[in-house]
């Protein structure tokens, strides 16, 4: 029964926003009741995640004024379109990408879909970063868009700086990437690092049913954490 209802949700979402792109936020609010009606918690999370990625990805790509082919390709790799739902996904995406209007209310709705799951919200921000840099750089307006989405998701400025440090090139502070305090002793740092490895291991995403591209993003995130730890361990001579 859940599978049948899941397949119809994107069609209903397309009907809800067929009037204008700015109605995406209201559409998601209307979809919340449909999502809540699904009996499986995992199915609810997957459907909510699907809706989040379709609309926010489109608006993310539009943030710098141009939706480029690499950004669309990145979206298609991240988001696995259910068989038979191609037209509905395309319809929702094209409506959403026409402008960035309503993205703040939409981001608030997304946070409500994952009230006790900041890890999933960070996955969404990571996915948006992946799309933003698909054309070779994260542009200033895209970074501002991402910062505001992260704020609406409940992340502090320091937490957003930690997330963005993994995606934006240049010299970065390893303590920032680790979310660690320089005043911590070596034992505390090592415990913190080990917890990060467990929390960010790609295998954790397999059980969530996320697309393969998200496994790659998680692998890159873990690589950044490991590289930052290597820098800190070398500086402190931690064995």
> Over the stretch 115-131, which tens digit does the pLDDT of each residue have?
888 887 888 898 888 88
Q: Are residues 132 and 179 in the same domain?
A: no
> Can you give the residue range of the structural domain that contains 123?
2-169
- Do 147 and 53 have their domain in common? yes
Residue 148 to residue 42: CA distance in whole angstroms = 28
- The count of structural domains within the chain is 2
State the Cα–Cα distance between residues 137 and 73, nearest whole angstrom.
15
Q: Nearest CA to 155 among 198, 134, 135, 126?
A: 126
Task: Say which residue the tokens 């209307």 belong to.
Answer: 30
pLDDT in tens, 71-84: 667 666 666 666 66
CB 10 within 8 A of CB 84: no
Q: Which of 142, 169, 196 lies at the terminal end of a domain, its last residue?
A: 169
157 and 199 part of one domain: no
CA 202 – CA 219 distance, rounded (Å): 6
Check whether residue 138 and residue 211 sit in a common domain: no
Residues 126 and 15 in one domain: yes
Identify the CATH number of the domain in which residue 206 sits: 1.10.287.110
* 33 and 146 inside one domain: yes
Task: Give yes or no: residues 97 and 178 share one domain.
Answer: no
| Integer angstrom CA distances of residue 138 from 7, 141, 213 | 34, 8, 19
Do 153 and 116 lie in one domain? The reply is yes
In angstroms, the CA 123 to CA 233 distance is: 27
Q: What is the pTM of this model?
A: 0.70
The domain boundary residue, chosen from 146, 169, 192: 169
What DSSP state is assigned to residue 168? S
pLDDT band, very low/low/confident/very high, at 181 (cuts 50, 70, 90): very high
User: Which of 149, 169, 189 corresponds to the end of one domain?
Assistant: 169
Determine how many CB atoms are found less than 10 A away from the CB of residue 233: 16
- Give the pLDDT band of residue 32 (cuts 50, 70, 90): low
Together in a domain, 32 and 44:
yes
Does one domain contain both 207 and 195? Answer: yes
Instruction: Please give the pLDDT value at position 51.
Output: 66
State whether 165 and 191 are in the same domain: no
In the predicted structure, residue 59 carries a pLDDT above the cut 50? yes
Q: Where are the alpha helices (DSSP H) in 98-206?
A: 103-113, 118-132, 140-152, 157-165, 174-178, 186-199, 203-206
Same domain assignment for residues 181 and 141: no
Residue 123's pLDDT is 83
More confident residue, 127 or 49: 127
Mean pLDDT across 167-184? 86
Question: Taking 70 as the threshold, does the pLDDT of residue 27 lie above it?
Answer: no
């Amino acid at each position: 029964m859940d599978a049948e209802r899941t397949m119809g949700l994107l069609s209903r979402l397309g009907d809800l926003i067929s009037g204008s792109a700015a109605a995406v936020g209201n559409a998601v609010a209307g979809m919340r009741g449909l999502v809540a009606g699904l009996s499986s918690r995992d199915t609810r999370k997957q459907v909510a995640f699907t809706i989040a990625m379709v609309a926010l990805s489109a608006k993310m790509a539009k943030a710098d004024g141009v939706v480029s082919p690499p950004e669309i390709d990145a979206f298609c790799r991240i988001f696995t379109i259910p068989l038979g739902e191609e037209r509905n996904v395309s319809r929702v995406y094209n409506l959403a990408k026409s402008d960035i209007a309503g993205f703040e209310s939409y981001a608030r709705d997304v946070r409500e879909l994952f009230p006790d799951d900041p890890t999933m919200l960070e996955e969404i921000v990571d996915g948006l970063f992946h799309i933003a840099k698909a054309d070779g750089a994260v542009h200033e307006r895209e970074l501002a868009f991402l910062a505001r989405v992260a704020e609406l998701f409940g992340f502090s400025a320091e937490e957003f700086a930690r997330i963005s440090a993994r995606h934006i090139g240049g010299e970065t502070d390893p303590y920032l990437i680790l979310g660690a305090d320089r005043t911590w002793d070596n034992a505390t740092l090592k415990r913190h690092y080990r917890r990060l490895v467990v929390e960010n291991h790609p295998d954790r995403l397999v059980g969530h049913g996320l697309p393969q591209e998200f496994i790659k993003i998680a692998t890159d995130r873990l690589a950044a954490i490991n590289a930052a730890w290597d820098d800190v361990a070398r500086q402190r001579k931690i064995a």
